[in-house]
Amino acid sequence: MTQPAPTMELVQDPEDRDTYYMNMGPQHPSTHGVLRLRLHLNGERILHVDPVIGYGHRAHEKMAENRDYLQFLPNTSRIDYLSGMIYNLGYCQAIEKAMQIEVPERAEYIRIICGEMNRISSHLLWFGTYLLDLGGITAFLYAFDDREKILDILDSVTGSRLTYNYGRFGGVSMDVDDTFLRSVADFSEYFRKRIEEYHKLVTHNVIFRHRTRGVGVMGADLALDYAVTGPCLRAAGIASDVRKDEPYGIYDRFDFDVVTAEGGDCFARHMVRMGEMEQSLGIIEQAVRDIPEGPVLAPKVPKRIRPPEGEHYFAVEAARGHFGMYIRSDGTDVPVRQKLRTPSFVHVSTMPAVLPGTMLADTVAILGSIDIVIPEIDR
């Protein structure tokens, strides 16, 4: 027998006419996906919020248990499609670590270049859409124009603009040429000047500052309690970055800083991401300068990928934070269990602790500032 659809209570109790419930989403544009926030309000002040997820669930983890490791490779860039390159290469590195596959030097440098370009493109999309949420159209157009330049560069070597499947166990699918490297160097030179324009246009804008400073404060204690990572954690003053804490690939060869800020508010999260784009440019420039000649794929990668029996874990620093892959293997070419640790799921979980006490108009600013991607929540 079909159960009737639940009805939403309009007031807390018959005597309380000052509070009410309101849905934000799952079709609201500022949720950037099918996320629903059930807001309990007193006037325009938030008393409580329940994030409701699951509207777009695609069962990536279950799919991993029903196909071999190579067949699952295209799924990785569809978990967080804005960090698709980082996720795709990170999964390759997880298998390589488990099976002790040695990656050629040139492939390692190419991975660094493409991964950091992908990080900048992700931050640019966040930057542009965040300003659009707050009513600023100019920055949105500028950011997407710059992001197009990155997508064209990555498309030239991967054949994709968003959901990349460029990584291979033991390297990458295709070598880069001098034209690619020159395009990357030209973009880096151009974008350093562009960041200065963004600071003049947005960071120093008095309206933007008033909308973001002191709003949506996520302190260090709260961030650590919820296992927040990435820019949201670093905006609370904690210098934690997988690339530094547990260097993978060849990140330990590069000189870069972990960008932090104080305050843990929306403005601090903006400043961290702006600083991270500059640091990514520095990494890219070092990689382009030092990239060696040689093959881009290991010569003796097994045709059947069978990690040793047992438990394996590997993590990378994606654009939104710590992306971890737990694999339990029985020695066959299909995992017994594959668990994905994604940052957005953690970050949206903080909303019941961050939003109460704030105004309804600030919900868009706060939710946008944590930069969630719904597909990596509903995975």
The string of pLDDT tens digits covering residues 308-353 is 999 999 999 999 999 999 999 999 999 999 999 999 999 999 999 9
Over residues 22-28, mean pLDDT: 81
Q: Tokens 């269990």 map to which residue?
A: 337
pLDDT at 24: 87
Rounded to an integer, the average pLDDT of 188-200 is 96
Burial class for 81, CB neighbours closer than 10 Å (0-12, 13-18, 19+): middle
- For residue 1, pLDDT beyond 60: no
pLDDT mean over 153-162: 94
pLDDT of 190:
97
The residue-averaged pLDDT of 71-82 equals: 93
Mean of pLDDT over the chain: 92
Q: How many CB atoms lie within 10 A of CB 274?
A: 19
Domain extents in the chain:
60-377
**pLDDT one-digit tens code per residue, 92-114:** 999 999 999 999 999 999 999 99
Q: Say yes or no to pLDDT of 179 above 90.
A: yes
At 29, is the pLDDT very low, low, confident or very high (cuts 50, 70, 90)?
A: low
Overall average pLDDT of the 267-275 stretch: 97
Q: What pLDDT was estimated at residue 5? A: 37
Q: Is the pLDDT of residue 11 over 60?
A: no
Residue 159 is classified by DSSP as S
Check residue 375 and give its pLDDT: 85
Q: Which CATH architecture has domain 60-377?
A: Orthogonal Bundle (1.10)
Which pLDDT score is estimated for 15? 52
User: What is the pLDDT confidence band of residue 3, given thresholds at 50, 70 and 90?
Assistant: very low
CA distance 345 to 325: 14
Task: Give the HSE-up count for residue 84: Cα atoms under 13 Å, Cβ half-sphere.
Answer: 20
Contact 259, 272 (CB under 8 A): yes
Question: Does pLDDT of 203 surpass 50?
Answer: yes
Give the strand pairing for 171-172 and 167-168.
antiparallel
Residue 376 scores a pLDDT above 50: yes
Cα–Cα distance for residue pair 16/95, rounded to 1 Å: 57
What is the pTM for the complete model shown?
0.93
First to last CA, the chain: 30
pLDDT score for 30:
65
4: pLDDT strictly greater than 50: no
Q: How far apart are CA 194 and CA 181, in angstroms?
A: 20
- What is residue 378's predicted lDDT score, i.e. its pLDDT? 84
Is the predicted pLDDT of residue 28 greater than 80, yes or no? no
Number of H helices, E strands in the chain: 15, 8
